[in-house]
Amino acid sequence: MKIGVLSRRSSLYSTRRLVEAATDRGHEVRVVDYLRCYMDIMSRRPNVMLSGESLVDFDAVIPRIGASYSFYGTAVVRQFEMAGVYALNESQAINRSRDKLRALQLLSRRGVGLPVTGFAHSTKDIQGVIDLVGGPPLVVKLLEGTQGIGVVLCETHKAAESVIEAFRGLDANILVQEFISEARGEDIRAFVVGDRVVASMKRTAAAGEFRSNLHRGGSASPVKLTPEERATAVVAAKTMGLKVAGVDLLRSNRGTLVMEVNSSPGLEGIEAATGVDVAGAVIAYVERNPERKRSKVRSRA
290 is a domain residue: no
The residue that leads in pLDDT, 241 or 155, is 241
User: In terms of domains, do 46 and 123 share one?
Assistant: no
pLDDT digits over 162-201, tens only? 888 888 777 778 889 999 988 888 899 999 999 999 999 9
Query: How much is the average pLDDT of 265-282?
Result: 96
Number of domains in the chain: 3
pLDDT computed for residue 300 by the predictor: 45
CA distance 116 to 34: 37
38 is a domain residue: yes
User: In terms of domains, do 220 and 74 share one?
Assistant: no
Q: Which amino acid is at 201?
A: M
276 is a domain residue: no
Helices (H), 133-198: 157-169
Residue 166 structural domain: 117-179
Last residue of a domain, one of 153, 179, 205: 179
288 is a domain residue: no
CA distance 261 to 112: 12
The residue that leads in pLDDT, 141 or 82, is 82
User: In terms of domains, do 186 and 175 share one?
Assistant: no
Question: Would the pTM of this model clear 0.95, i.e. be above it?
Answer: no
CA distance 288 to 268: 24
Confidence band for 81, pLDDT divided at 50, 70 and 90: very high
30 is a domain residue: yes
- pLDDT over 70 percentage in the chain: 90
284 is a domain residue: no
| Residue 41's CATH number | 3.40.50.20
pLDDT digits over 3-27, tens only? 999 999 999 999 999 999 999 999 9
pLDDT computed for residue 299 by the predictor: 42
pLDDT computed for residue 166 by the predictor: 85
86-87 and 60-63 strand pairing: parallel
| Residue 199's CATH number | 3.30.470.20
**Residue 194 CB: number of other CB atoms within 10 A?**
17
**What is the chain's mean pLDDT, rounded?**
89
285 is a domain residue: no
pLDDT computed for residue 44 by the predictor: 78
Last residue of a domain, one of 155, 179, 203: 179
User: In terms of domains, do 196 and 106 share one?
Assistant: yes
Confidence band for 239, pLDDT divided at 50, 70 and 90: very high
